[in-house]
Amino acid sequence: MPLRLTLIAAVSDDGYISAGKGIPWHLPDDVAHFRAFTEGKHLLVGGSTYDEMTGWFRPQHTVHVLGKPRSPAAPKVRFYPDLGTLLQTAGREIDAIIVIGGSSIYEQTIQAASQLVITHVHTQLGQGKPFPDIRESDWTVVRQQHHPADSRHALPFSIVTYNTSVLRG
Ligand SMILES: NC(=O)c1ccc[n+]([C@@H]2O[C@H](COP(=O)([O-])OP(=O)(O)OC[C@H]3O[C@@H](n4cnc5c(N)ncnc54)[C@H](OP(=O)(O)O)[C@@H]3O)[C@@H](O)[C@H]2O)c1
């Protein structure tokens, strides 16, 4: 069975996930959503994002890192020299993986993804690390939930789940 890929990201209305380094907004309810969605799952992450997130991984996560080997941030961390090896190796053991970024990893995996879980953060960053274009013809919105700005969230956001409308394989 092919490995099912879900990409999860928080993206500004002008298409950026970061202004340069780190996450450019503080949205506790989106962090809670990210934690709940990824809890106990197999995750695919690029080397730079892994370096930023080392304190965040839990023993329950299995973390598949694309890039040079680094110190393991959790008991189940594996490093892969290229994407083909990662997908092939993981695909022998599991049937689903969640891609958690960063920009270069989203760019390389979106064409193989069957689902996107995007937090559209209603702000403009103007520049930074991009998320690839979400082409309307390739995706169907299956769920969306709006969160207004409030005392804990300086920006409003909408969490939208897209399923692919393109036949993969
Ligand atoms: N808003 C969000 O939802 C969100 C989510 C995640 C990340 N981010 C942000 O995204 C930014 C990082 O994105 P990024 O594109 O700079 O970095 P990245 O995708 O996290 O990592 C890039 C690194 O991954 C490795 N890599 C990528 N493709 C590879 C391939 N085909 N084969 C082997 N290794 C490969 C290389 O690691 P080596 O250097 O080890 O060779 C490369 O330097 C950060 O600012 C982060 O905060 C935002």
Distance CA 95, CA 10 (A): 24
3-state secondary structure of 34: helix
Q: Are 22 and 78 in contact (CB under 8 A)?
A: no
**Two tokens, residue 131:** 């998320």
pTM over 0.85: yes
Average pLDDT in the chain:
96
Side-chain-side CA neighbours of residue 18 (13 Å): 14
Test site for ligand 1: of 87, 103, 155, most ligand atoms within 8 A of the Cβ: 103
Query: What is the structure's pLDDT at 1?
Result: 66
pLDDT digits (tens, 9 = 90+) for 20-70: 888 999 999 999 999 999 999 999 999 999 999 999 999 999 999 999 999
Query: Which atom from ligand 1 is nearest to the alpha carbon of 50?
Result: 20
Question: For the chain, where are the alpha helices, taking DSSP H only?
Answer: 28-38, 47-53, 83-93, 103-109
- Residue minimizing CA distance to atom 12 of ligand 1: 102
3-state secondary structure of 30: helix
- The DSSP element (H or E) to which 166 belongs, if any, is none
| Cβ atoms within 10 Å of 94's Cβ, excluding its own | 15
Over residues 77-85, the mean pLDDT reads: 97
pLDDT digits (tens, 9 = 90+) for 112-157: 999 999 999 999 999 999 999 999 999 999 999 999 999 999 999 9
Query: What is the structure's pLDDT at 92?
Result: 95
- Residue minimizing CA distance to atom 35 of ligand 1: 67
3-state helix, strand, coil in the chain (%, to 5): 25, 35, 40
Q: Is 102 in the pocket of ligand 1 (CB under 6 A)?
A: yes
Q: Is 17 in the pocket of ligand 1 (CB under 6 A)?
A: yes
Query: 31 CA to middle of ligand 1, Å?
Result: 19
- Residue minimizing CA distance to atom 19 of ligand 1: 102
Q: Are 51 and 70 in contact (CB under 8 A)?
A: yes
Test site for ligand 1: of 27, 49, 109, most ligand atoms within 8 A of the Cβ: 49
Shortest CA distance to 168 belongs to which of 77, 87, 90, 89? 87
Domains and CATH numbers, the chain: 4-164 (3.40.430.10)
Query: What is the structure's pLDDT at 21?
Result: 82
- Where do we find the tokens 């690029």? 46
Q: Are 65 and 78 in contact (CB under 8 A)?
A: yes
Query: What is the structure's pLDDT at 165?
Result: 86
Distant-in-sequence, close-in-space partners of 164: CB < 8 Å, separation ≥ 6: 113, 114, 115, 138, 139, 140
Query: 129 CA to middle of ligand 1, Å?
Result: 10
